[in-house]
Amino acid sequence: YAKHSGKNTFKFFSVALNKESEQKQKIARQLRKAIARNEFTLYFQPVVNVTTGAIKGAEALLRWNSFKLGNIEPSVFIPIAEEIGIITSIGEWVLFEVCKQNKRWQDLGYTTITVSVNISAKELSLRGFAKLVERTLAVTNLEAKYLGLELTETAIKKDPELSIQQLEYLSGLGVVIALDDFGKGYSSMSYLRKLQLSRIKIDRSFIQHIPHNREDTIVTNAIVTLANNLGLKITAEGIETKEQYEFIRTTLTDSAQGFYFSRAVSAEEFALLLQKGVLPPSH
């Protein structure tokens, strides 16, 4: 009986795996055509000053509306794009579009807006990445300090030496470097010292259960203290409730983003938010 059920279990899993890889291949096929077909759009989630609610900038988040498959989430297509090696061309597109867009906002008079781009491991471990960023800034005529790069420790781990070297170069130009999803991994502490960081972003998973979960509250307070002592600025990610907002207001966190302020919106909608300047809480 055990043998029998084991076999069935195996069959079940292999069917499920085949289905999964079929779906993946379908996505991969469409993903290769997505840039040429103009299927990508950038959305912008406002980052606000915790004390005043003033919009300081935004995080650019990629949206894919596939002609064949409909809307697909970044958490689904980004890993596939990494796997099939096209994340670098997608990343190049994102970088250029973000710089171009931010330059337009700067020209409209919103001269203090920093827009951040998420960088994947494949990009950062590519020799020439730093030069690509420099060239993109030059071509779009955007000052380096208005561009932010967000990277995770996974991205750095792929080739730490080259990553650190490129980040040093970029931070030397004035690009704002942030460590994303801080606290999610295991060895972030060592990178805090080795990287030319301006900022860390506290992972949403810590914020989620604040202030009811005592441990998460303690850990978040400790992260904030650590970052402050290292001279790093802090963004709290994933603020959804008034309570969470009140909590981070009392810590030394300087900026925040989350659905409580605004979801990621289109460039047009973001321009309207910039006109208002300050984001009132949504509830």
The CB-of-71 to ligand C2E minimum distance in angstroms stands at 11
93 near ligand C2E (CB under 6 A): no
Among candidates 95, 96, 92, which has minimal Cα distance to 149?
Answer: 95
What is the distance between the alpha carbons of residues 196 and 179, in angstroms, rounded to a whole number? 10
Among 34, 55, 94, 227, indicate the residue that binds ligand C2E (CB under 6 A): 94
Asked if 61 interacts with ligand C2E (CB under 6 A), we say yes
**Chain centre to alpha carbon of residue 215:** 25
The binding site for Mg ion (CB under 5 A) comprises: 118, 150, 180-181, 237
- Is residue 279 within 8 A of residue 262, CB to CB? The reply is yes
- The answer to whether 39 contacts ligand C2E (rule: CB under 6 A) is no
Measured from the CB atom, the residue of 117 and 279 that comes closer to Mg ion is 117
Task: Give the pairing of strands 70-72 and 55-66.
Answer: antiparallel
How far is 212 from 194, CA to CA, in rounded Å? 34
Identify which of residues 39 and 150 has a Cβ nearer to ligand C2E in the complex. Answer: 150
**Contact call for residue 75 and ligand C2E (CB under 6 A):** yes
Residue 172 makes contact with ligand C2E by CB under 6 A:
no
Interacting span for ligand C2E (CB under 6 A) from 1-9, 116-124, 191-199, 248-256: 116-124
The per-type count for the chain, helices as H runs and strands as E runs, is 12, 9
Q: Is 184 helix (H, G, I), strand (E, B) or coil?
A: coil
Task: Give which of ligand C2E, Mg ion, none residue 151 binds (C-beta under 5 to 8 Å, depending on kind).
Answer: none
The residues that bridge with 42 in the sheet, in sequence order, are: 62
For the bound state, the minimum distance from the C-beta of residue 11 to ligand C2E, rounded and expressed in Å, comes to: 34
Per the listing, tokens 């290292």 go with 230
Minimum CB separation of residue 150 from Mg ion in Å reads 4
Beta bridge partners of 233: 199
Q: Cβ neighbours of residue 186 under 8 Å, at least 6 residues apart?
A: none
Residue 115 β-bridge partners:
58, 147
Q: How far apart are CA 7 and CA 152, in angstroms?
A: 40
Q: Tell me if residue 240 falls in helix, strand or coil.
A: coil
Q: Within a 10 A sphere around the Cβ of 245, how many other Cβ atoms?
A: 20
- Under rule CB under 6 A, residue 134 binds ligand C2E: no
Does 243 bind ligand C2E (CB under 6 A)? Our answer is no
Q: Which of 30, 66, 114, 120 binds ligand C2E (CB under 6 A)?
A: 120
Site track for ligand C2E across 142-161, x = CB under 6 A: --------x-----------
**Of the ranges 14-22, 30-38, 105-113, 257-265, which one interacts with ligand C2E (CB under 6 A)?**
257-265
Show the binding pattern over residues 198-237: x = contacts ligand C2E (CB under 6 A), - = does not. ------x---------------------------------
Q: What is the dihedral of CA 199, 51, 61, 104, to 10 degrees?
A: -100
CB 227 within 8 A of CB 248: no
Among 168, 219, 259, 265, binds ligand C2E (CB under 6 A): 259
In the complex, the residues that contact ligand C2E under the rule CB under 6 A are 45, 61-62, 73-75, 78, 91, 94, 118-120, 150, 180-181, 204, 238-240, 257-259, 264
